[in-house]
Structure 1
C-alpha cells in the first residue's frame, strides 16, 4: 500500500510517498525536472513487496511547499539539505539505496558524498555526474549561466517552462509517443504554471552550473566506495548523453549498464523493465 505523507522540515512541508515494509531494504527515489515523485507512480507498486520505498517532492516541486524565490534559496545545495534532513532526521533512515534521475542526481549525490556509509547502492536513470554527459538540450541554459540578464532569463523561461517543452521531455525519443500518458506532462505543467514558479525554476536553472563543479567530488565517492550501481538509461535523451552513462564505468567498473531505446523519462515506457532490473540487481 502506498501512503501519501507530509513532514515539516525547517518550517516547510515536504511531501513524500511511502510504500513497503520499513524493515525491508530502503530505496529513496529522487525525481527530476520538471516533475515530482509522481514520475515513480508506476514503479513503486512493482517494488513495494520487496523494498521499503520513500519518494519525496523537493521544495518547489509537486505537493511540497513552494515558498517564493524571494524568501527561499533555490539552489541544489539547499534542496539537498532539506532532503537530507527529511531522510536522516525526520524519517530516521540509516541505510538506503538512492534512485536518481535528472535533478535527483545532484541532490542525491550531495547526500551520498556527505553520508557515504549510508549508501547501500545507486540506481541511475539519466542522472548525470560527468562533463561529457551534458547534451545539446542544455545549450539554452549555457547562455543564462554566462550572463544572467532579464533578457536571458526570459529566453530561458520560454525554452524551459512551456507546455510544448514539458511534453517534448516526455515524448522525444520514445518508441511510441502515443502511448505516453498526457497525465504526466499535464500535471507537471500545472505546477510549473503556479504563480511565482518561473522565478523558482530560473534560480535552479542558473544554479545548475554549480553542479558541474561537484563532479570531481562525486566521482571520488564512486571510486572510493564502489557502491553497487545499476544504470538504466534512456539512450535517446537530448539532455543527458549516452557518453555520460558510460562514463560511470570509469569509476565503478562493476556497475551494470543498460541502455534503453527510449527518452529522458524512461519510466514512462519501461517501468516494467527497470523494476525487474532493480529486483534482480539488488536481490538479497
Structure 2
C-alpha cells in the first residue's frame, strides 16, 4: 500500500501579498519540524529527508523569498534582508497554524531560524543545526570576498559575482565529500540552483543578501544568550570538511549548549547529499528522545 504520510505535497501560500512555495508531508496532528534551507539552495535540498521524517512528524520546508519556487520580485520591489525573510517565514508558519515546532537550520536558514527561536523561545522545541553559523569561529576564508563586498560594493562586485557561477555552486556541493561518496551527490542539486540563480534579476537578489549578511553578526550575541538561557535541545550534524562554515563553528555551539549532541560527518557544506540516511537516523533518534 502507498504510505500517504510520506507523500510530499508541493504547495504555495500567499504571505504578505507574495507567493511562498513549500513542501509538506506527514500527519498535521503529529509533532512539527520546519526545515530552513541555505544558499544557494531551496527546499529541494530536503527532498530525500522529508519522507524519512514524515512517518513521525509533520514536516514543512519553505523556499525563502527569492529562492526556489517562491516569488522573486526585483530588488527595487522587495526588501531582501534577513529580517524580512524571517518575517515572511514566521508569517507562513503562523498562517499554517504551527504553534510549536523543531527547526532544522542550514546556512542562510540559521540567521532566519535563530531569529525565530530567540524571539519565540516557547514555540521552538528543538534545534537541528547543519553548517549554520552562530559564532565567529565558523567563518573561513570563503567569507573574505563577501566581507570585502560589504565594505565596498562597487569595487568588489565582480569578485562577489564569481560566487554565483556554476563552478562555485558545484563546488559547494562536492567540496569536502570523500571520493567514495561523490556518486551520492546528485547533479540535480547544483543544476537546479544555478538555473534559478540565472533567472533575470536573481543575481542582484543574491548580491543584496550577500551585502545584508553583515547585519546577522551583531545578533550572534542574542542567539548565544538564547542558548544559555533556554538551553534548547540541540543536535548538530555538520560536515567536518566544510570550508564555507568550518567545524569550529559547530564546536562553538557546545560552549553555550553543553548538552548539545555534536556529530562531525566526513562531508562538506551540503552533508545531506552524501550522508542523508545517517542524518535522518540521527534526527529521528534525537527528536524521539527530546520531544517525546
Corresponding position: 1:36 with 2:39: no
Coordinate RMSD, CA, aligned:
0.8
> In structure 1, how many angstroms separate the alpha carbons of the residues matched to 2:198 and 2:206?
11
Give, in angstroms, the shift of residue 5 of structure 1: 0.4
Aligned counterparts of 2:83 and 2:50: Cα–Cα separation in 1: 27
Aligned equivalent of 2:201, options 196, 212, 221:
196
Deviation of 1:139 (Å): 1.1
Q: How much has 1:282 moved relative to structure 2?
A: 1.0
Match of 2:14 among 8, 24, 28: 8
**3-state SS, counterpart of residue 282 of structure 1:** helix
TM-score (structure 2 length as normaliser): 0.95
Please identify, of 50-59 and 175-184, the stretch whose mean Cα deviation from structure 2 is larger.
Answer: 175-184
Aligned to 1:18: 24
The unaligned stretches of length 5 or more in structure 1 are none
One of 106, 110, 122 as aligned partner of 1:105: 110
The correspondence for 2:223, drawn from 218, 226, 231, is 218
Q: Which ranges in structure 2 are unaligned for 5 or more consecutive residues?
A: 1-6
CA distance in 2, matches of 1:134, 1:185: 23
Q: Report the 3-state secondary structure (helix = DSSP H, G, I; strand = E; otherwise coil) of the residue aligned with 1:129.
A: coil
Question: Pick from 144, 164, 169: which aligns with 2:167?
Answer: 164
| Distance in 1, Cα, partners of 2:136 & 2:158 | 26
1:184 to 2:189 alignment: yes
Q: Give distance in 2, aligned partners of 1:182 and 1:239.
A: 20
Deviations 1:8-41 (A, max 9, x none): 0111000000000111111100000000000001
Equivalent positions of 1:1-284 (< 5 A) are 1-88=7-94, 90-149=95-154, 151-158=155-162, 160-176=163-179, 177-283=182-288, 284=292
Q: Deviations over 1:165-212 (max 9, x none)?
A: 000000000013343210110000000100000110000001111111
Cα distance in structure 2, aligned partners of 1:87 and 1:179: 32
Moved over 3 A (4+): none
Looking at structure 2, the residues matched to 25 and 241 of structure 1 have their Cα atoms a distance apart, in angstroms, of: 31
